[in-house]
Chain A
Amino acid sequence: QITLKESGPTLVKPTQTLTLTCTFSGFSLSTSGVGVGWIRQPPGKALEWLALIYWDDDKRYSPSLKSRLTITKDTSKNQVVLTMTNMDPVDTATYYCAHHIYGSGSYPYWGQGTLVTVSS
């Protein structure tokens, strides 16, 4: 059974750096073809793809946010970490991590999401 869970601060101040951790089980990020991605959703708005890391440490980022994002993995801990710098109120959103299969282009399993509010 594959499960993912996001964790991190619920409130950050403008200009601060957000660090979110995705802790997963039921698969290994050392297995060929596996990836973990991050997607966010502002309240009442659409999903927005942010970043993805593959088993081989290949990393992909949203072009519009690339300068602010860093994604890393700790295979031994079954964790993926996303950092986003220079947070702004428009970054207020529910942040999801999701399991990805290379070649399928899809995200079959998602975490429950964590709401991050950016406010002073």
Chain B
Amino acid sequence: QSALTQPASVSGSPGQSITISCTGTSSDVGSYNLVSWYQQHPGKAPKLMIYEGSKRPSGVSNRFSGSKSGNTASLTISGLQAEDEADYYCCSYAGSSTSWVFGGGTKLTVL
């Protein structure tokens, strides 16, 4: 069982917005502003989309945004496009003993 809980799947139509949640605990998501989000297309390596909870790396569309409330982080994708269909994983720092934990992943389907 993954340390961070994500919905198994979400879907949306082109142009719509969707939000993927990532629920942890007060030992990881709730304690550190070090949540990152990764997009993974089939057969490809993960790609960093959001880091430090809400920052976008250079080159990542501003349609992607991140936030956090308590022990839950969220990734929002606005103006859904077909190319956004992929698996998305959250990751959080969890202290010096555990270090990093990933979520179970969410499959995004663009209808």
In the complex, how many angstroms separate the beta carbon of A45 from the nearest chain B beta carbon?
Answer: 8
User: A63 to chain B: which residues have CB within 8 Å?
Assistant: 97-98
Whether A46 and B34, one on each chain, are in contact in the complex, defined by CB atoms closer than 8 angstroms, is no
Query: Which residues of A in the span 35-75 have a Cβ within 8 Å of any Cβ on B?
Result: 37, 39, 46-49, 52, 60-63
Judge if A112 is at the interface, Cβ distance under 8 Å: yes
User: A96 to chain B: which residues have CB within 8 Å?
Assistant: 45-46
Whether B48 and A46, one on each chain, are in contact in the complex, defined by CB atoms closer than 8 angstroms, is no
Contact count band on A:
20 to 34
User: A120 to chain B: which residues have CB within 8 Å?
Assistant: none
CB-CB under 8 A for A111 and B105, given A104-B51, A104-B52, A106-B36:
no
Q: Could you jot down 17 A-B contacts, CB within 8 Å? A: A46-B102, A46-B105, A47-B40, A47-B46, A49-B101, A52-B99, A52-B100, A61-B99, A104-B51, A105-B32, A105-B36, A106-B48, A106-B51, A107-B36, A107-B38, A110-B47, A113-B45
